[in-house]
Structure 1
Amino acid sequence: MTSGPTAATAPWFLRPPSTAGHAARIFCFPFSGAGASAFSAWPPAVDGVEVCPVQFPGRENRMGEPHYGTYEELAAGLVEALVPLLDRPYAFFGHCAGALPAFETLVRLADRGLPPPDRFFVSGQPAPHHASGDRMLTMTESELRAELESFLRGRGIEPRPDMVDMGLAVLLEDHAAAGAYRRAEPAALPCPIVVLHWRDDPDVSLDQLEAWRPYAESVDIRVVDGGHYDFMDAPDGLLTLLTSWR
């Protein structure tokens, strides 16, 4: 295995993962319509674990690139960028729909016999074989626009029309990928899974998260304080949990 980041990894990470100085890495996957900036409030590293937000094609600094298409295509492209970065212990964190391409990436890493993560953290996302039940997949374009405006106001940002138009264009393509995603039955991963339920999240229930149990020999479901998007603020309790495997 080639050790250390290469030029091939560059588009996938806003800040290139370091070659030294950190004992481990956690790769972070954003939710639909978002990019790596969803993790902008997170520190570069926590307790020796380097934080590596993944940047999907078709948004933010990759806006000029074609959209990734499907979760399967996204995972296939990301695997190649990850190969040189698996030279030390690592974990995955996927929030909401971001947990689905994270899962598909882990399936492909396992298929290639590459080192598995020490943990896969799933945040506020039902299991892959239940993903088609996401309420947002039934929303019209005008409803998604209103949802985006509400999200921005909730983050203290006044939603300008040009900002909303750009964000909606990304969200619509991401939702097309989410709507096309189908996994008929569970596929077990060779790593423990920790599923996080946000206590104040009205859209994802503990019962829905229980469906992750067939996906690994060890599946731990934890309740954490906060709402669906509070992960963006890098709460101390979350960061401590995400580095507890080290």
Structure 2
Amino acid sequence: MTSGSAAAPSPWFVRPHSTGHSARIFCFPFSGSGASAFSAWPAAIDDVEICPVQFPGRENRLGHPHYDTYEKLAADLVEPLAPLLDRPFAFFGHCAGALPAYETVLRLAELGLPGPDRLFVSGQPAPHHASRDRMLTLTEPELRDEVAAFIRGRGIEPRPDMIDMGLSVLLRDHAAAAAYRRVERVAVGCPIVVLQWRDDPEVSVEDLQGWRRYADSVDIRVVEGGHYDFMEAPDELRKLLTSWR
């Protein structure tokens, strides 16, 4: 255990939390994935600690009941999150992970708890456009193919049991995504930085314009790479994620 660190306080966080950094970024994974989506990210970027969030119902929390809805996920996350809001922080959510990140910002505000200095949204249209996600239209066999292709894209030849496991998580996450309907477009009290990946064929700059209605300050940035390249924490992304400090 490194100096200035303590054991992870709850199953919601897979890394020990440090007391030696001046700020934190809480990272929300995309549908079908977990905190391991950020396993290649460093423990800190400059003086900002990286804190991947582990949703229930996957990876080391496979035996925990699924969160069911993004609103319930946000509500359940607040208690383990609250002790860690003792310094400036930001949220980063990739793809559908941006939606529970947004809902968590709203929940913190409702409870009078500190809010983030920035909400970073990566490759995800605004909440009122969430139902347009192409993945939500796919059949189960097509989703199985998507899971296999994703695993192969990470340099691993998938075994059938790996695909079965990934598909079971993805199907429950997709049920939550399909049920999500935000009719009231509630603005957050912090700037939003929206990232569009230049080589992402699924989400264009135009698809992301809806976020402009969710904060007084919304900055849409185009970054180099494809939809899943965030997983490698490229330098351009690192600089953006610490630009608020």
TM range, normalised to the smaller chain? over 0.9
TM-score by length of 1: 0.96
Letter of the structure 2 residue corresponding to residue 108 of structure 1: R
Structure-2 separation of matches of 1:107 and 1:8: 25
Matches within 5 A, 1:139-158: 139-158=138-157
Q: How does 1:126-165 map to 2 (within 5 A)?
A: 126-165=125-164
How far 1:155 sits from its partner (Å)?
Answer: 1.2
Residue 68 in 1 paired to residue 67 in 2?
Answer: yes
- Say which SS state the counterpart of residue 238 (structure 1) adopts: helix
Q: How does 1:117-132 map to 2 (within 5 A)?
A: 117-132=116-131
Matching residue's letter, 1:96: C
What stretches of structure 1 of length at least 5 have no aligned partner? none
Q: 8 Å contact 2:192–2:218 — kept in the other structure?
A: yes
Q: What SS does structure 2 have at the residue aligned with 1:241?
A: helix
CA contact (8 A) 1:10 1:16 kept: no
CA distance, structure 2, for counterparts of residue 199 and residue 115 of structure 1: 33
Q: After the TM superposition, which parts of structure 1 deviate over 6 Å for at least 4 consecutive aligned residues?
A: 5-8
Paired residue type of 2:65: P
What is aligned with 2:205? 206
Work out the number of aligned pairs and report it: 242
Contact 1:8/1:81 (CA < 8 Å) preserved in 2? no
Q: Which residue of 2 aligns with 1:54?
A: 53
Contact kept, 8 Å, 2:6 with 2:17, in 1: the verdict is no
User: Which residues of 2 match residues 15-54 of structure 1 at below 5 A?
Assistant: 15-18=15-18, 20-54=19-53
Task: List per-residue Cα deviations over 1:11-46 (Å, max 9, x = no partner).
Answer: 10011322x110000000000000000000000001
- Residue by residue over 1:103-152, the C-alpha shift from the partner in whole angstroms, topping out at 9 and shown as x without a partner, is 00000001111111111000000000000010100110000000111111
Distance in 1, Cα, partners of 2:240 & 2:27: 14
SS of equivalent residue, structure 2 residue 50: strand
Q: Distance in 2 between matches of 1:182 and 1:7?
A: 37
Match of 1:99 in 2: 98
Contact 1:6 1:84 in 2 (8 A): no
**Structure-2 separation of matches of 1:77 and 1:9:** 15
Partner of 1:12, secondary structure, is coil
| Structure 1 residue 9 displacement after superposition | 4.1
**CA separation of 1:225/1:162 partners in 2, compared to 1, >3 Å: closer, same or farther?**
same
Equivalent residue letter for 1:47: D
Task: Give 2:104's aligned amino acid.
Answer: T
Say whether 1:173 aligns with 2:189: no
Matched letter for residue 166 of structure 1: M
Q: 2: distance between equivalents of 1:7 and 1:225?
A: 36
Deviation at 1:185, TM superposition (A): 3.3
The CA RMSD over aligned residues, in Å, is: 1.5
Q: Please state how far the C-alpha of 1:164 moved relative to its aligned partner.
A: 0.5
- What is aligned with 1:237? 236
Shift of 1:79: 0.9
Number of the residue aligned with 2:10: 10
1:10 counterpart letter in structure 2: S
One-letter code aligned to 1:120: L
Q: C-alpha displacement at 1:7, in angstroms?
A: 8.5
Mean Cα deviation higher: 150-159 or 85-94 = 150-159
